[in-house]
Amino acid sequence: MNHKIILVSLATVILGFSTLVAHAEDPLLSWNDGPAKQAILEFVKTTTTEGSPQFVPSEARIATFDQDGTLWVEHPMYTQVTYCLERVPALVKEKPELKNKEPFKTVLSGNREAIAKLSTDQLVEILGATLSGMSVDEFSSEAKTWLSEAKDPRWKRPYTELTYQPMQELLRYLRANGYKTYIVTGGGQDFVRVYANQTYGIRPEEVVGTAGETKFGYDKNGKPFLTKEPKLLLNDNGVGKPEGIYLMIGRRPFAAFGNSTGDRQMLEYTKAGDGARLAMLVLHDDAEREYAYGPAQGLPDTKVGTFTQALYDEAKKNGWTVISMKNDWKTIFPFENK
- Cis (ω within 30 of 0) for the bond into 295? yes
* Beta-bridge mates of residue 241: none
Hey, which residues between 16 and 45 contact a copy of itself (CB under 8 A)?
Answer: none
Cβ–Cβ < 8 Å for 323, 282: yes
Stretch that binds a copy of itself, among 94-102, 110-118, 246-254, 298-306 (CB under 8 A): 246-254
Contact 34/40 with Cβ under 8 angstroms?
Answer: no
Span near a copy of itself by CB under 8 A; candidates 1-9, 34-42, 238-246, 276-284? 238-246
DSSP state of 69: T
Which amino acid makes up residue 133? Answer: G
The answer to whether 68 and 258 are in contact (CB under 8 A) is no
Using CB under 8 A as the binding rule, whether residue 274 contacts a copy of itself is answered as: no
Burial of 135 from C-beta contacts in 10 A (0-12 / 13-18 / 19+): middle
Provide the mask over 117-146, with x wherever binding to a copy of itself is found by CB under 8 A and - wherever it is not: -------------------x----------
Binding of residue 56 to a copy of itself (CB under 8 A):
no
Q: Using the minimum distance from each CB to a copy of itself, give the nearer residue, 104 or 139.
A: 139
Q: Is position 281 an interface residue for a copy of itself (rule: CB under 8 A)?
A: no
- Is omega for the bond preceding 158 within 30 degrees of 0, making it cis? no
Which residues are CB-neighbours of 291 under 8 A, at least 6 positions away?
73, 75, 76, 284
CB 147 within 8 A of CB 160: yes
Contact between 216 and a copy of itself per CB under 8 A: yes
Please give the Cα distance from 196 to 64 (Å, whole number): 14
Q: Does 205 interact with a copy of itself (rule: CB under 8 A)?
A: yes
316 near a copy of itself (CB under 8 A):
no
199 is a site residue for a copy of itself (CB under 8 A): no
Closest alpha carbon to 324 in 290, 285, 298: 285
Q: Which of 80, 165, 189, 199 binds a copy of itself (CB under 8 A)?
A: 189
* Binding of residue 213 to a copy of itself (CB under 8 A): yes
Phi, psi of 212, deg, nearest 5: -100, 170
Please report how many Cα atoms fall inside a 13 Å half-sphere around the Cα of residue 53, on the Cβ side: 2
Number of residues that bind a copy of itself (CB under 8 A): 35
Is 269 a binding residue for a copy of itself by CB under 8 A? The answer is yes
Smallest gap from Cβ 144 to a copy of itself, in A, equals: 14
Nearer CB in complex with a copy of itself: 17/246: 246
Of 222 and 298, nearer to a copy of itself (C-beta) is 222
Residue 204 makes contact with a copy of itself by CB under 8 A: yes
Q: Which residues of the shown chain bind a copy of itself in the complex (CB under 8 A)?
A: 59, 136, 180, 189-190, 193, 197, 203-205, 207, 211, 213-216, 223-226, 233-234, 239, 242-243, 246-251, 265, 268-269, 272
